[in-house]
Structure 1
Amino acid sequence: MTISPLRRLLLLRHAKAARPPGTADHERPLSGRGRRDARAAGRLLAKEDWLPDLVLCSTARRTRETWELAAAELAGLPQVRFEPRLYHPPVPQLLAVVHEVPAHVSTLLVIGHNPSLRDTILMAAGDGVGQRVREVEEKFPTAAVALLAWRGTWDGLDARTALLTGLAVARGARPGPS
């Protein structure tokens, strides 16, 4: 009897973005807090040993900046692909991107936006450890990371097929007084 491989899908919502006047949504940069939280997200991924084999990142500026700052906190850098289909997709489109992931990838990190990430977590999580599903229902804030796990293939991720095993929000320390 062959046991299906364990798959881990990490979903990271971009860190807090600024809203400069006249800037298109796709080009919004991270705020100061966002830059601190993005670095903290990288430290969180390293501390929890949530290290991806592959990163799929929305093409929006705030997601790219989140990855760049988080990656600087990691010991090794996985392959990264900037994916235009991850810019505010409906859940079926986000799942279609995940379903294309090569079989050799065990842990995938998707960096994207709400409500897409929140809705994907709630759709895919058949259950969660503790109150995690309820916490996501209430709020999936900026710089939050969720970990879904299941045995099977990437294209097997569907409604209620995964377990929400990890949930954390990365917050960087505020700068002290000058």
Structure 2
Amino acid sequence: MPRLFLLRHAKSAWPEGVADRERPLAPRGERGAAAIGAYMAENNLLPARALVSPARRTLETWDIATRTWPAHTPPAFEAGIYEASADRLLEIIRAQDGHSPLMLVGHNPGMEELAARLLTRAHRVKVLPKYPTGALAVIDVPGADWAHIATGEGTLERFVTPRALGVAKD
């Protein structure tokens, strides 16, 4: 059964005059990314393949989250994740070949919409209506491979937020 990790970038800053794609993480986001990364390492939730949006805040989330991981495969930077709809994210996932667990590091609203689309109705309520920054959804999907991933059949194995791990607001 393929496993998918959906990680929304951690809390970002909004510096004046900085383009959306270049926004860095806020201090709270740095703490959140570190907490989620440590949680993933402690719980053996490490991807076989990671696809990361090229936006600065997703790159920083990945960099900080993976600092405590044992050696891992470098991520692939996937331009199609930036500002992607759930449909586009699903296309990207279906194009992958056998890597499981597969991780996407991206943005809302696409990540939230994708989680809602993949999960069974009973599991959707655990991630909706809010998919906060830095949140990690671990979704198990039936099927043999990513090419045949179906919607509405995924099981939410867990949903973790930086706040649940003790990261306080500034």
TM-score by structure 1 length?
0.87
Cα separation, partners in 2 of 1:36 and 1:115, compared to 1, 3 Å: same
* 1:59 alignment partner, SS class: coil
Q: Which amino acid aligns with 1:55?
A: A
Structure 2: distance between partners of 1:150 and 1:113: 21
Q: In the alignment, which residue of structure 2 is the partner of 1:144?
A: 135
The one of 44, 53, 66 equivalent to 2:48 is 53
Q: In the alignment, which residue of structure 2 is the partner of 1:158?
A: 150
The 8 Å contact of residues 12 and 25 in structure 2, kept in 1 or not, is answered as: yes
The 8 Å contact of residues 127 and 162 in structure 1, kept in 2 or not, is answered as: no
The one of 111, 125, 133 equivalent to 1:134 is 125
Compute the RMSD of aligned alpha carbons: 1.4
* 1:92 alignment partner, SS class: helix
* 2:105 alignment partner, SS class: strand
The one of 102, 105, 110 equivalent to 1:116 is 110
Structure 2: distance between partners of 1:135 and 1:148: 12
* 2:68 alignment partner, SS class: coil
Structure 2: distance between partners of 1:121 and 1:151: 15
Unaligned stretches of 5+ residues in structure 1: 1-5
Q: In the alignment, which residue of structure 2 is the partner of 1:3?
A: none
The 8 Å contact of residues 56 and 80 in structure 1, kept in 2 or not, is answered as: yes
Unaligned stretches of 5+ residues in structure 2: none
Structure 2: distance between partners of 1:7 and 1:76: 22
Structure 1 segments (4+ residues) deviating >4 Å: 171-174
Shift of 1:138: 2.2
Tell me which moved more, 150-159 or 60-69.
150-159
* 2:140 alignment partner, SS class: strand
Structure 1: distance between partners of 2:134 and 2:39: 10
- Identify the structure with the greater strand proportion: 1
The reply to whether residue 67 of structure 1 matches residue 62 of structure 2 is: yes
Q: Which amino acid aligns with 1:142?
A: T
The 8 Å contact of residues 36 and 162 in structure 2, kept in 1 or not, is answered as: yes
